[in-house]
Structure 1
Amino acid sequence: MITVNEIAKLVDGTVGGDGGIHIKGMASSRFAEEGDITFALDGEELERAGKSRASCVLTMVDMENYPKTTLRVGDMKLAITMLYNAMLEMKPPGKGVIHPAAVIAKSAGLGRDVSIGPNAVIGEAARIGDNTTVSANCVIGKNVTIGQRSCLYPNVTVYDCSVIGDRVIIHSGSVIGADGFGYVPREGKIYKVPQMGNVVIEDDVEIGANSCVDRGTFTSTVIGRGVKLDNQVQIAHNVKLGRNVIIAGQSAVAGSSTVGDNTMLGGQVGITDHVSIGSNVKAGAKTGITGNVKDDKVIFGYPAREVADARKLFALLSLLLKNARKFRALLRNSPDD
């Protein structure tokens, strides 16, 4: 647990009331229990929080004569984020539970306090680290390695030989290590290219629901440390994502492309195969990237352009559409070359 005074130092806040109260969790006012901290952005939420069972209220509003201890901050989103992550680090590991309906190979190795949900399948020679949770209906293939304090939500599938690091979160419906999309047309027939590599997911990665990371053809598809993938993201075979890459929903990175550290891709961004995206790049939603991008660029549009050039182009297109009749008349009246 942590006191309100300690939280105030963490989030640069001001305490109103008893700063010595111990906080054990955080929740919305509707579900808060004694010992929880809740949050309120406006008068209506403050009134509801004041009547809740929460022990402390995080707010951006100055309060007098409030019925509960308050913690006033300048940036609510940042304060909640910092507190949430601090409490995650302080949370002691729970005791592992193996559901009787789980199917675990005799050669699989489970660390301390591993939890396996109902109907989950753990394959031959798989290794699962301490305090990791594999939820209901997950399938873990043979020779898979999963690190410590990771969490796989229900219905995640991890194909053979995949490697998953520590503190990795994979949400429901995602598939790790399926075959890459590789085919060779020849003499009227389409031949499948063997996909014999694997997937390596480094520490502190989070993968959203219904996303796919394909195995490498002969080497590894690599998801770097700290990467965050939204729901419905496709990472193709042989892709290498650097550290702390963020990719929003419905984006796709085609085979053998690389994305540098700290790059951010908006929703529905598409990256073609065999291109290199630098570090610290930002790509706006629906950008189509068909060539290499240098470090620190901000790009947008299809084909991708630096954002200033893309805005000029859209402005010119708008001008052209607005004055289409004038341009046509001008062209009709112009002398032929």
Structure 2
Amino acid sequence: MTAFTAFLAVATHRSFRSAAAELNITPSAISHAIKALEQRLGARLFNRTTRSVSLSDAGERLAEKLRPAMASIEEALQSVDAGADVPRGTIRINASEGAIRLVLKPVMARFLQLYPQVHLDIVSDGRLDDIVSNGFDAGIRLAEAVPRDMVAVAVTAAMRFAVVASPEYLRARTRPMRPLDLHQHDCIRFRFESGAIYRWEFERQGTTERVNVSGPMTLTDQPLMVDAAMEGIGIAFVPEHLAAQPLADGRLLRLLEDWCPEFPGLALYYPGHRYVPPGLKALISLIRTEAPGAPFAGEAGAVRRC
């Protein structure tokens, strides 16, 4: 372990204990390495309290410069091993919780059985961080949101959203016939990690409608939105696969279906100019053959979303 490796681990996790666990060393060893580096540089790299660890201004500058440099060193070392083509080492992936559940969870155990020399470091984050500057090998997000300078590989089939409500909720109410009718209903809203409230978006035969809905509940978790809809709290607008079972057994009813066309699904993406480690190639291959709803399209570029 180098002091720079320890520094980047703490910078990533914002925790000395978590960084120590990743590097399989003691927290005191991490602390000594950081202290020695700070003395060497003559600058404080972290602001520490009993409850939190954050980067200082000097630490932010060092991390910004160091991450791509360390990534280049790692790529150089991996390229030396590339002849053996044996997946090994750590693969860092940034994805939302929903993408992790849909794409990665179904294959994680199988992948690690097949490739025991690979360590998966998966970070749940819905903020669409810059994967290069933050030291990730790859990310997963909607294909349309992938930056154009990245290589994007489709990892799900096309997707749809569904407007759903329980029979109990609809029993005493008139069903909405078009999106603007939702203003007359209780709706379950979704809040992004940024704090923004999602504005429901619909399209039919070239006509687009966007609705700022209102209602008694706002959530940051889409499966909880499905649960709330089943409880009769209001109407939810969620990815179709999350509501598939309650729609099939009648606990939920679908609304405005003709206003919810398909759109390109999720893509795993990575920098096109970088060496792609065998472990990441193997993971992509497994996702595309074994994950539920896997596509079988080629690479996907940035595409539009209704």
> TM-score category by the smaller chain?
under 0.3
More strand by share: 1
Q: TM-score if structure 1 supplies the norm length?
A: 0.22
* TM-score of the pair, normalised by structure 2: 0.23
